[in-house]
Amino acid sequence: MRGQLFVMTGASGVGKGTVRAKVLERTRLFYSISMTTRPPRPGERHGVDYYFVDRPTFEALLAQGGFLEHAEYVGHLYGTPKAPVERALSRGEDVLLEIEVQGALQVKERMPEAVLIFLVPPSLSELKRRLVYRGTDDPERIRRRLEQAEWEIRNAHRFDYVVVNDVLEEAVRDFLAILTAERRRTERMGEALSRALARDASLEEELEEILRRSHGGTGD
């Protein structure tokens, strides 16, 4: 059975990395390591946090169609290398991507079966109310935040699930619940269920055979 693709997304600063780390501790998922042209931060390791490459290397892979999705974010390129994700899915492993919103929507377009989980900060509506009615932030900041908040609300239907990251443990619990529910979908379980039915069918055949024999093979 092919693995499932889960995409964690959300605005920068919402805590995707923290939730992701906790989720990976508690369930089996193949985590897709992104490629980026951003220089490593102290402590970050090539091949663990990202594949750190220069722009020509990134662009060469892009030209070959080697990315499942990619986006430019604050002056740097980020992308999900396609091959490792495909390999893991074919092996039957579930895959997790943790990427920004534009990239997540590209994945959904290319692979509609992908499950998009949108992480939002707590009290988005409260943020909006405060921004509008108090107006203490500088106008440019208010505008950008409002735009982002409005975009998120308008586009919520494009994601499959929304998880509020207020209390970390609750967000992780919700995320794991979504994984469990998706893994239990009847369409995914179809194969396993028909195998079980086939087993039952063969049991019934065996039983019939035993009964036939006990009746001397007359079929009575």
Binding site for ligand 5GP (CB under 6 A): 12, 16, 34, 38, 69, 71, 73, 78-80, 98-100, 103
Closest approach of ligand 5GP to the CB of residue 45, in Å: 13
Closest approach of ligand 5GP to the CB of residue 205, in Å: 51
Shorter beta-carbon distance to ligand 5GP: residue 67 or 124 = 67
Contact 61, 78 (CB under 8 A): no
Shorter beta-carbon distance to ligand 5GP: residue 33 or 127 = 33
Shorter beta-carbon distance to ligand 5GP: residue 3 or 79 = 79
Closest approach of ligand 5GP to the CB of residue 94, in Å: 18
Shorter beta-carbon distance to ligand 5GP: residue 40 or 135 = 40
Shorter beta-carbon distance to ligand 5GP: residue 3 or 103 = 103
Tokens for 102, please give them: 């534009």
Query: Which phi and psi (to 5°) does residue 122 adopt?
Result: -65, 155
114/4 Cα distance (integer angstroms)? 7
Closest approach of ligand 5GP to the CB of residue 109, in Å: 13
How far is CA 49 from each of CA 32, 36, 77, rounded to the nearest angstrom? 10, 10, 15
Of all residues in the shown chain, the one whose CB is closest to ligand 5GP is 103
Tokens for 213, please give them: 């024999």
Planar angle of CA 88, 168, 126, nearest 5 degrees? 115
Burial annotation 169-206 (CB, 10 A radius, 16+ → b, else e):
eebbebbeebbeebeeeeeeeeeeeeeeeeeeeeeeee
Strand ranges, E, within 82-126: 95-98, 115-120
Closest approach of ligand 5GP to the CB of residue 78, in Å: 4
